[in-house]
């Protein structure tokens, strides 16, 4: 009888926790970097229009960042619950959670976006922006606010894909969205080739198109590849589905609101110093954010794996 244990191929061994974290964390970190890169490209392209427009668009982006991060909490809560249902091999439950999260998140974000669409300049003025800054950023805010439901839907769908073991897909889709945004933003600002010259409004239109593409491709991956079913809770199931989702999402929303609100106050103070100070702060904050979000993938990966283990 041989005392030598048979050799097991390395790829046949179950992945270690470290490898599992890396497989999720690296694509998620890159996805977040690409997503923030979309905003950075907007700032770079807008710089072609002058300091005042950079300040106005940056101030408007400070407002949309608050809303984006707050509503993204719905995606975070749904991601945790989908991961738990996936770990329990409850496909129907995960599908209902995703469907409910999409309905709640996109509906709330669309309702919130309406006042911005019809009064972007006035809204910035009410928040304390200088008249010239509000005039430069208001039209951009009115347009880019239309992207909020797409941003929310993309965040929820991206979380669902990570929770079901498809972390690379959102990363690839985010890269495609950045590429589309770069081409459209530059074209619509400069009027090069067949593009009309629309200024800062063109950057807003490019942002809408990029996030609509991202949300559409992610939905196609989730439902077209049959990862989850296109399902909603039945009439009597909504309360049972939402009862765990809201307690998870609301604290995260409050945390993101406090953090992004603090960043907005810095923008407000910089605007009091002057337009150039506001423009410079917006550009530096965007660059700083790249390094911050690059480290967020580990937390997201840990959340997914813990959720699956609890299931």
Q: How confident is the model at residue 11 (pLDDT cuts 50, 70, 90)?
A: very low
CA angle 45, 57, 62 (to 5 degrees): 120
117 within 8 A of 33, measured Cβ to Cβ = no
Higher-pLDDT residue of 109 and 267 is: 109
Q: What is the mean pLDDT of residues 89-116?
A: 90
pLDDT digits (tens, 9 = 90+) for 111-141: 999 999 998 889 888 887 788 888 888 899 9
Q: How confident is the model at residue 221 (pLDDT cuts 50, 70, 90)?
A: very high
Query: Does the pLDDT of residue 298 top 60, yes or no?
Result: no
Query: Does the pLDDT of residue 288 top 80, yes or no?
Result: no
pLDDT of residue 1: 41
Residue 31 tokens, joined = 């996805």
Would you give the end-to-end CA distance of the chain in angstroms?
Answer: 42
What is the Cβ-side half-sphere exposure of residue 146, based on CA atoms within 13 angstroms?
Answer: 16
Question: What is the average pLDDT score of the chain?
Answer: 79
Q: How confident is the model at residue 24 (pLDDT cuts 50, 70, 90)?
A: low
Q: What is the mean pLDDT of residues 50-55?
A: 83
Query: Does the pLDDT of residue 210 top 90, yes or no?
Result: yes
Cα-to-chain-centroid distance, residue 96: 21
Query: Does the pLDDT of residue 15 top 60, yes or no?
Result: no
Lowest mean pLDDT among 13-27, 119-133, 245-259: 13-27
- 245: closest CA among 114, 113, 120, 104? 104
Higher-pLDDT residue of 51 and 116 is: 116
Q: How confident is the model at residue 280 (pLDDT cuts 50, 70, 90)?
A: low
The whole-model pTM stands at 0.81
What is the Cβ-side half-sphere exposure of residue 285, based on CA atoms within 13 angstroms?
Answer: 23
pLDDT digits (tens, 9 = 90+) for 165-177: 887 888 889 889 9
pLDDT of residue 5: 38
List the chain domain ranges.
Answer: 26-310
Cα 177 to Cα 188: distance, rounded to the nearest angstrom:
16
Q: What is the mean pLDDT of residues 248-266?
A: 75
Provide, rounded to the nearest whole percent, the portion of the chain with pLDDT above 90: 17
Query: Does the pLDDT of residue 3 top 70, yes or no?
Result: no
Query: Does the pLDDT of residue 295 top 60, yes or no?
Result: no
Query: Does the pLDDT of residue 13 top 50, yes or no?
Result: no
Cα 57 to Cα 60: distance, rounded to the nearest angstrom:
5
């Amino acid at each position: 009888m041989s005392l030598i244990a048979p050799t097991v191929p390395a790829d046949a061994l179950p992945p270690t926790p470290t490898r599992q974290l890396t497989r999720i964390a690296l694509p998620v970190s890159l996805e977040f970097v690409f997503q923030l890169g979309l905003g950075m490209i907007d700032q770079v392209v807008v710089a072609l229009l002058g300091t005042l427009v950079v300040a106005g668009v940056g101030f408007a982006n400070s407002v949309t960042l608050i809303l984006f991060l707050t509503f993204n909490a719905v995606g975070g809560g749904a991601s945790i619950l989908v991961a738990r249902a996936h770990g329990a091999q409850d496909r129907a439950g995960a599908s209902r959670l995703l469907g409910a999260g999409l309905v709640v998140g996109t509906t709330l974000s669309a309702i919130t976006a309406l006042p911005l669409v019809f009064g972007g300049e006035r809204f910035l003025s009410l928040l304390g922006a200088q008249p010239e800054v509000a005039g430069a950023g208001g039209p951009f805010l009115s347009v880019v606010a239309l992207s909020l439901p797409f941003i929310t839907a993309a965040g929820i769908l991206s979380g669902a894909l990570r929770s079901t073991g498809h972390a690379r897909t959102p990363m690839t889709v985010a890269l495609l969205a950045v590429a589309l945004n770069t081409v459209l933003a530059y074209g619509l600002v400069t009027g090069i080739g067949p593009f009309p010259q629309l200024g800062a409004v063109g950057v807003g239109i490019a942002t809408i198109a990029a996030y609509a593409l991202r949300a559409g491709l992610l939905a196609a991956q989730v439902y077209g590849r049959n990862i989850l079913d296109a399902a909603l809770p039945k009439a009597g199931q909504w309360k049972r589905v939402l009862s765990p989702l809201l307690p998870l999402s609301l604290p995260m929303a409050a945390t993101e609101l406090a953090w992004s609100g603090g960043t907005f106050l810095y923008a407000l103070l910089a605007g009091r110093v002057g337009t150039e100070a506001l423009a410079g702060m917006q550009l530096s904050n965007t660059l700083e954010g790249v390094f911050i979000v690059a480290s967020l993938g580990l937390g997201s990966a840990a959340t997914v794996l813990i959720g699956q283990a609890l299931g």
